[in-house]
Structure formats: structure tokens, C-alpha cells
Structure 1
């Protein structure tokens, strides 16, 4: 029977002395490949976690203290604000470009990030549920811990969808039309007026080049 036991690179004895065609060298190559694969998986997981936390924080800080719930129309307005959170910086960079000079890497990253957010909105974007008063309270009280995000309900909102997919789990990317879920309109409409200031959104979530690079998977040349 073949030996399928997995070896860790650090556990291979005298690995530095192994002949390139020996069984020990083969074990080393397998261990190195596995370590690299696990490293890439960990990086992808960390990037996804960072994106989820950053998005939740943005919605946490964009809502006002006296807000209790939002209508679905207001939710769509907030999503548009989220997608355009870098628009002021994009415009500033574009206006500062010199003729004949290539655009800086940051501008390209911001454009890509905006396009990705819009595509996600068209297909179904995951955001905290803002039509539920208890959930809004939990969002306000949340302190940015990834593990504590499980207590905050998320919904999937699609641009052409009139109602949110209420109760959607973080990994559930289906819309209300696709899941067959129904929304009680009375729960959505009986809400106080929701106020927000779009002027402050740039200050709320002004990204660093590192965060943007993580979201887009691209390197940035500052």
C-alpha cells in the first residue's frame, strides 16, 4: 500500500541533506507545496474576514444614533452611498492628473473596487439588516470584533429587488425571489424617518492603500 501520511516540513529529519531524487526529497517537496497552499488559503480567508468587518463597520458608523430602523428605499440609498464612498477621492485624483502621465495605481484600485461593489449590488450584496430595530441596536453596540458579528443579522439586497431577503445568513447569496421568502410589508413601512449625511461618508471609511489592495487582490503603487 502507498504511504499517504502527510509530513510537515519542520518534521522531516535531515531534510537539508536529502538527495534530490530520494524519497525524503519527495516528502520535502510535498510538504513545501502543502505549506504554500495552506498559506494562500489562510490569506484568502483573512482577506474575506477583513472585507466583512470593514463593510459592517462602515454601516455601523453611517447610521445616526437616533436611528431605529430604515425603509427599504432608504436601505438602497445607503447602499448607493457605500458604493460611492470613494467617489470624492477618485474625482480629486482625476482632476490632479497631468496630461500624458499614466494614472496612479491607487486610482485604478478605487475604480476596480467601485465596479466590484456595483456588480455585487446588481447580483445581491450582503449588508446588516437595517429594517429590524433590534438588529440596528446590536449593530450600534458591536465593537468591531469579527467573532461577535454572528449576533448581527444580515440580508441580501439586490438592486432590482423591491424587498430584502430577510433572515439571510452571511453565506446565503440568494435573493428573496430565488428563495421564495416573503417580507411583511407592514414591518418595513412602519418606521420613523431615517436621516443620514452623505458628506461624512468619505471620512467614515477612508481606506488605506493596503485595505483596498486586499479587497481587490491587486498590488498598489503609491
Structure 2
């Protein structure tokens, strides 16, 4: 039978060490290492969730664009975003119908209803305020690249996104002076 090589500095039949004292340097080192791993895992999970949400949103746009168009106008893109904002209306109506049943007490699916309402409110605020991020469908080159994209996360940086507002910003409006009147 072949000999099992002993690990350097260790023996096979060595008794296990006692527990580490909580105030020792080793305990502090282990707790710092664990805290670091937890922070890294938490940030990675948040990043993965954000990328997944962005891919889901862009895939909705990819499925709902007209393949025959070479480019969209700003207004057409805003209309498409409005359609995107209404994507959860059917589910919300279904939940409200279930809550309206006379023999049911309480709010059924209350957490999902609250989540939908919160999402709709947040997205509406983005469209009316700082801008809703969507693919730049006004540029024919970007639209062509977007049409060939099918949800690959590694190609996400190649897609050009733009912020759209439901009403144009004050910077784009012409300035009226009293002299012109």
C-alpha cells in the first residue's frame, strides 16, 4: 500500500486545536475576513440584480419595436416608453378584481400590489422628472445594433442608452424675449 504523504507542518493524527479566544488577533482577523466576504457578496448580488433588471427592460423594448422601421422619432420613443409603463396594468387589474370578491376578506396579494404600484410610481417619476433610460431608438445605427441584440449581458455595454422625458426639458425650448413681441 502506498504511503500517504504528510502535509507540510501537519500530521495526520494531530488533535484539533481548541477554540480561538474571542479577543485574540486571530479572531479579529477571521471576523474581518468574513465581513469582507459578506460585503463583496452583497455588492455582487446588488450588481447582478441591477444588470438583470436592465436586461429585462431592454428585452421588453427589443420585443416591442417595429423591425421595419429604420429609426424612431423622439415622440414615438416616448409613446413606446408609455406602453412600457403600462405593462403591469393587466396584472394590477387582476389583483384588484380578486380583492373585490365579496366572500374574500383582507387584501389578497397585497405585497405584489404594493410592489407594482411602487414600480409604476417610480418609473412614472423618472419619465416626468430626470429622465427614463431607454435605448436610443432615434439613431439608425444604434437601432440596428439593438435589433441584433438578444439579451446577452456581455454585450450590454455596446448598447447606447439615452434618457427620455415625457415633456421636453427647459433647455431645449426657445427663449422668448420681450423684444420679440
Indicate the TM-score class for this superposition, using the shorter chain for normalisation: 0.7 to 0.9
Residue of structure 2 aligned with 1:140, choices 147, 151, 157: 147
Tell me the SS of whatever aligns to 2:162. strand
Deviation at 1:73, TM superposition (A): 1.1
Q: 1:119 — aligned with what? A: 125
Deviation at 1:15, TM superposition (A): 9.2
Q: d(CA) in 2 for partners of 1:142 and 1:68?
A: 15
Q: 2:137 — aligned with what? A: 130
Deviation at 1:17, TM superposition (A): 2.6
Whether contact under 8 Å (2:98, 2:108) holds in the other structure is: no
* Greater Cα radius of gyration, structure 1 or 2: 2
Q: 1:85 to 1:23 in 2, by over 3 A?
A: same
Alignment TM-score, normalising by the size of structure 2:
0.76
Q: Residue by residue, what CA displacement relative to the aligned partner does 1:80-101 show, whole Å, maximum 9, x if unpaired?
A: 1111110111011111114531
Q: Residue by residue, what CA displacement relative to the aligned partner does 1:150-192 show, whole Å, maximum 9, x if unpaired?
A: 2221111122226xxxxxxxxxxxxx94xx9xxxxxxxxxxxx
Whether contact under 8 Å (1:127, 1:156) holds in the other structure is: yes
Tell me the SS of whatever aligns to 1:156. strand
Q: d(CA) in 2 for partners of 1:58 and 1:39?
A: 29
Whether contact under 8 Å (1:123, 1:159) holds in the other structure is: no
Q: d(CA) in 2 for partners of 1:82 and 1:16?
A: 60
Residue of structure 2 aligned with 1:152, choices 156, 159, 174: 159
Q: 1:126 to 1:46 in 2, by over 3 A?
A: same
Q: Residue by residue, what CA displacement relative to the aligned partner does 1:42-82 show, whole Å, maximum 9, x if unpaired?
A: 11111111111111111111012212111111111111111
Structure 2 unmatched ranges of 5 or more: 1-15, 173-181
RMSD (Å), alpha carbons: 2.1
Tell me the SS of whatever aligns to 2:33. helix
Q: 1:55 — aligned with what? A: 57
Residue correspondences, number? 152
Tell me the SS of whatever aligns to 2:114. helix
Q: Residue by residue, what CA displacement relative to the aligned partner does 1:109-141 show, whole Å, maximum 9, x if unpaired?
A: 111111121122122111101111121111110
Q: d(CA) in 2 for partners of 1:107 and 1:67?
A: 36
Q: d(CA) in 1 for partners of 2:52 and 2:113?
A: 21
Structure 1 unmatched ranges of 5 or more: 1-13, 163-175, 181-222
Tell me the SS of whatever aligns to 1:67. coil
